[in-house]
Amino acid sequence: MNTFKLTVASPDGNKFSGEIVKLDVRGTEGELAIMAGHIPFVTSIVKGACAVWTDEETKKTATTDGGLLTVGKDEVTLLAGSFKFDE
């Protein structure tokens, strides 16, 4: 499966930076699944759970209080007020 670079940043600093296969978040219009090759766009995200898939079988869940998601050709950036991986 193809990968893309994800960077997650908050006022507390960078929370994640690395290659992933999928990002699941909730946008203001509903659930989003971002994968390699996704069309570029920008949207706001809302408070709630999200998931970072580092490979096809490894999912890391997290919670965010919302923010801005920017999807580029080969890179995705999530700017969040807060972002915390679940333990």
> In the prediction, which pLDDT does 13 show?
94
Q: Tell me, what DSSP letter sits at residue 21?
A: S
Model pLDDT for residues 67-77, shown as the tens digit of each residue: 999 999 889 99
Q: Are 21 and 35 in contact (CB under 8 A)?
A: yes
Whole-structure pTM value: 0.94
**Domain residue limits at 17:** 4-85
How many domains does the chain contain in total? 1
| pLDDT at residue 87 tops 90 | no
Model pLDDT for residues 12-50, shown as the tens digit of each residue: 999 999 999 999 999 999 999 999 999 999 999 999 999
- Mean pLDDT confidence for 56-70: 96
Query: Distance (Å, rounded) from C-alpha 85 to C-alpha 58?
Result: 14
CATH number of the domain that residue 57 is part of: 2.60.15.10
Distances (CA, A) of 1 to 22, 47, 75, 80: 10, 29, 16, 27
